[in-house]
Structure 1
Amino acid sequence: MIDLSVRLEKSPSVEELNASFKKAANESFKFETDEIVSSDIVNSHYGSVFDSKLTNFVESKDGRLYKLFAW
């Protein structure tokens, strides 16, 4: 699992951020809207599966800290 924490110059909503990843989906990168667990990924032909249900942000004095997850 990839747990990515990132601070962006702009402050998109979670929906806008997820829409960007959905647009980037292709034959090796899947955008998933359903809740998933590790057994859903076993034998997947995708290089990574973006888990949109886990996209989140935390407000901070520097702006927003985004948390993104992929399997």
Structure 2
Amino acid sequence: MELASGIAARERDLDSTDDEDVTHVAVTLNHIHLPMLNQFGIIEYDAERTRIESCPSRTDVHAVSPTGFN
């Protein structure tokens, strides 16, 4: 939730946010953004353990748009 809290605060340009904002960001991260970043090889994301790790070699990441069209 720490990541979600930081993102929610940054989106609202505030120092802190309410639980509803943080929950919304957390759900969106876990169901959309983190799996997509994992799929493109930008991060390693383990949804079961809710763990994010940086990929060992980011030089292998190719520029791919989210829609799959370049």
Q: Higher strand fraction: Structure 1 or Structure 2?
A: 1
Q: For the pair shown, which has the larger CA radius of gyration, 1 or 2? A: 2
Judging by fraction of residues, say which structure has more helix: 2
Same fold judged by TM-score > 0.5? no
TM-score, normalised to structure 2, is 0.32
> Taking structure 1 as the reference length, what is the TM-score of the superposition?
0.32
